[in-house]
Structures are given as C-alpha cells and as structure tokens.
C-alpha cells in the first residue's frame, strides 16, 4: 500500500440528475476516475485517519510542521507516521482480492488484474487488447457491481 504523500488524491461528489457520483483525482498524474461509494468511503476514511495522526503528532510535540518538509532521510511527516508496510492490512486485502478474483470469468479477471492491481487505465487496457473503450468500460462496470456485491456479502 502506498503512503499518503506518495499517492495523494482529491475526493469529491457530484449530483447528476438526482444520482450521486463519487470521484477521485490522483494529484501526481491528474487522472480523474469515478469510483464506487464503497471505494470513496474507504479512501475518505484513510485520508481522515492519516490527517488525525498528523494532528495528534503536531499537538503532542507542540511544534507546527510542514507536511511537505522533508527530514534528513528525505521523508515527510506523513511518511514517518504512515505505516508503509501495514502487513496485516495488506495480507487481509490481498486475500480478499484473491478470493474475489476467483469469482470472475477470465476476461474480467484480466481487466481486474491489469487495471485495478497494476494501475493501467481502462482506455489503455482497451487499446492494448484491441477492444473498444466502451466495451472495456462495460466490463469494468460489471466488475464494480460484482465487487460491490462481494464486499456486502451477497
């Protein structure tokens, strides 16, 4: 799992024709993606958890730190309080994702692996596999629906 300062993002919602949509933007690349409500909530809770840790660190020390300033090792404050190894969480997430992948047909599993795990864009996946962007997005939508159902225990 990336640390917060390495993988910084913006989160926001929109209301389109009465339907709430959830969005994220990766600050380093500017890439904007619509995400499911569950993913949005998870990202938001992680962001709040990190910010609480930063505030607690600042409160305890009484010194105001710049979140962008680096120490002699080149690490920012967020780097030092974030657990980049989070082994237990990583293992649990990996196990859940592997179980979920087993439920997918081959074509969906391939897109899931390349897009969700390896970070390829959906459009990039479509080009690499010679399919239309709309077809790739439809497969992605099916995966999201299955993932939502899987996450809710259905």
In this prediction, residue 142 carries a pLDDT of 93
Domains, the chain: 1-84 (no CATH), 86-154 (1.10.10)
What is the residue-level pLDDT of the chain in tens, covering all 154 positions? 344 444 577 888 999 888 999 988 887 788 888 888 888 888 888 878 777 776 666 555 555 545 566 666 766 655 655 555 555 566 677 788 888 899 999 999 999 999 888 889 999 999 999 999 999 999 999 998 888 888 777 5
Distinct helix (H) and strand (E) counts, the chain: 6, 3
Phi-psi category of residue 13: left, alpha or beta, with phi > 0 → left and psi -120 to 50 → alpha: beta
In this prediction, residue 153 carries a pLDDT of 72
Asked whether the whole model's pTM tops 0.85, one would answer no
Distance of CA 137 to the CA centre of its chain: 18
Structure tokens at 98: 């592997």
Residues 6+ away with beta carbon under 8 Å from 28: 7, 8
Residues 6+ away with beta carbon under 8 Å from 34: 21, 22, 23
Lookup result for tokens 């990583």? 90
In this prediction, residue 4 carries a pLDDT of 46
């Amino acid at each position: 799992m990336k640390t917060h300062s390495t993988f910084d993002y913006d989160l926001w919602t929109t209301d389109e024709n009465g339907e709430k949509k959830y969005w994220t933007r990766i600050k380093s690349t500017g890439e904007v993606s619509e995400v499911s409500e569950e993913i949005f909530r998870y990202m938001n809770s992680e962001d709040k958890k990190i910010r609480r840790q930063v505030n607690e660190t600042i409160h305890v020390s009484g010194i105001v730190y710049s979140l962008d300033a680096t120490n002699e090792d080149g690490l920012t404050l967020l780097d030092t309080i974030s657990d980049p190894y989070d082994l237990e969480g990583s293992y649990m997430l990996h196990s859940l994702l592997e179980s979920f992948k087993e439920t997918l047909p081959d074509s969906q599993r391939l897109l899931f692996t390349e897009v969700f795990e390896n970070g390829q864009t959906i459009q990039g996946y479509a080009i690499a596999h010679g399919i239309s962007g709309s077809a790739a997005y439809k497969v992605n939508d099916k995966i999201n629906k299955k993932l939502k159902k899987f996450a809710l225990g259905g």
